[in-house]
Copies of this chain bind each other. A is one copy, B any other.
Amino acid sequence: MSNTWLPTLITDTPEEGYQLAIKMSRMGVKYTQPSDEVRDKLRPQYAESADSLIAVSQVVATNFQTVAAANNYWKA
C-alpha cells in the first residue's frame, strides 16, 4: 500500500471531504481484506442489504467527523 492514498485530510469543499471519508471507510475494509476478488464477490452481501448499507453510512459518518474537524468545518 504506497504512501499516497492519504497524503492529507485537507479538502477544498465539504463534499470532497465526504468523498475522502468514503475512501477512508473503504480502505478500512481493503487493509483487512486486500483481495479485490473477494471484496467484489462480497458486494451483493452489503449493496443489497439495508442494514449493511446503514452500517456503511455509520462508518462514513465517523470518518467524516474526523475530516470535518481537520478542515475546521470548511469555515473561512
**Which residues of A line the B interface, CB within 8 A?**
1, 3-10, 13-16, 18-19, 22, 24-29, 31-33, 38-39, 42-43, 45-66, 68-70, 73-75
Contact B63 A70 (CB under 8 A): no
Q: Tell me the nearest residue of chain B to A64, going by C-beta.
A: B66
Copies in the complex: 6
Q: With A32-B46, A59-B61, A63-B64 given, is the CB distance from A14 to B25 under 8 Å?
A: no
Contact B9 A74 (CB under 8 A): yes
A4 to chain B, nearest CB (A): 8
Contact A45 B56 (CB under 8 A): no
Q: Tell me the nearest residue of chain B to A60, going by C-beta.
A: B28
